[in-house]
């Protein structure tokens, strides 16, 4: 394992104007693995599921129940694909980053082309996805953007703006609150995953085997907890934004309710 734990991701390649960092490359690897697992789990669907299909169905049922119990059945089913994607991607990214040898594959950094080969300090090819603040901030922005869009869809533009500006002097507070949600989601996930990575690096450097194994088990648990927290908070924010239906009943899209 690489004994370094730099705060910023390292650029390893460039695709046209796009600089590819090791955390971006790892995100692609995670998505490929998830696609393969999904294909393996659905290529031979059976009415009486086998062990692997049962595990997938149990996981998805858990996420569906979480979504429906928090945001209501109608809204919960609509946001289920997003919520399931958040949880599964974050969890897989967290756990892959804990695999033995994850950071041991090293490559020359992008800026090393102009340097002498003997002076090039190599960087890890793979970096835990959620130890990159850019990644967690992107997911947080997506989550809160969906919150605002669904708030308009289920309350209408006038109803949503009325909710924001009631009373008017609280509008700046509401705007700051939404911004704080982005910061909270992004910083919490990044801080916990990056902190856990640094802890493991330090423990591996100090004690080669026994103690790091204990901390590795804890990080597996924390990886699950952090994925669950991000997912639950996203569902809660969506639920709050879609509960301002005019009739006070379970929220329906404004266009549907008009009929």
pLDDT, one tens digit per residue, over 187-230 is 999 999 988 888 777 777 777 666 567 777 888 899 999 999 99
Q: Is residue 1 part of a domain?
A: no
Q: Is residue 151 part of a domain?
A: yes
Residue 54 contacts residue 232 (beta carbons within 8 Å): no
Residue 204 contacts residue 113 (beta carbons within 8 Å): no
**Integer CA distances (angstroms), 224 to 94, 218, 232, in order:** 8, 10, 12
- Which whole number is the average pLDDT over 136-152? 92
78: tokens are: 């609509």
Q: Given the structure tokens 């756990």, which residue do they identify?
A: 95
Inform me whether the pLDDT recorded for 248 exceeds 50.
Answer: no
Q: Is residue 207 part of a domain?
A: yes
Quick one: pLDDT at residue 4? 57
Residue 128 contacts residue 97 (beta carbons within 8 Å): yes
> Mind giving me the DSSP string for 37-50?
HHHHHHTT--SS--
Q: Is residue 103 part of a domain?
A: yes
Residue 136 contacts residue 185 (beta carbons within 8 Å): yes
- Which whole number is the average pLDDT over 74-90? 93
For the chain, the domain total comes to 1
Q: Is residue 2 part of a domain?
A: no
Q: Determine what percent of the chain is predicted with pLDDT higher than 90.
A: 35
Quote the pTM value: 0.83
Range of the domain at 117: 11-257
Q: Is residue 147 part of a domain?
A: yes
């Amino acid at each position: 394992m690489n004994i370094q734990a730099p705060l910023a991701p390292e650029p390893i390649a460039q695709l046209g104007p796009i600089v590819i960092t090791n955390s971006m490359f790892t995100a692609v690897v995670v998505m490929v693995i998830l696609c393969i697992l999904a294909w393996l789990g659905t290529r031979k669907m059976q009415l009486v599921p086998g062990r692997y299909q049962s595990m997938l169905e149990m996981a998805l049922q858990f996420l569906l129940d979480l979504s429906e119990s928090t945001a209501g059945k109608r809204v919960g089913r609509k946001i289920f694909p997003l919520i399931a994607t958040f949880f599964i991607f974050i969890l897989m990214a967290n756990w892959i980053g804990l695999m033995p040898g994850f950071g041991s594959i090293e490559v020359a950094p992008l800026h090393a082309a102009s340097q002498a080969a003997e002076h090039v300090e190599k960087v890890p090819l793979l970096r835990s996805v959620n130890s990159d603040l850019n990644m967690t901030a992107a997911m947080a922005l997506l989550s809160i953007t969906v919150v605002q869009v669904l708030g308009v869809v289920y309350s209408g533009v006038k109803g949503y703006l009325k909710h924001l500006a009631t009373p008017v002097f609280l509008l700046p507070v509401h705007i700051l609150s939404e911004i704080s949600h982005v910061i909270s989601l992004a910083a919490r996930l990044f801080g916990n995953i990056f902190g856990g990575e640094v802890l493991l690096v330090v423990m591996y450097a100090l004690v080669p085997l026994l103690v790091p194994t204990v901390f590795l088990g804890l990080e597996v648990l924390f990886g699950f907890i952090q994925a669950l927290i991000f997912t639950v908070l996203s569902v809660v924010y969506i639920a709050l934004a879609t509960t301002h239906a005019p009739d006070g009943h379970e929220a329906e899209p404004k266009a549907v309710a008009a009929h």
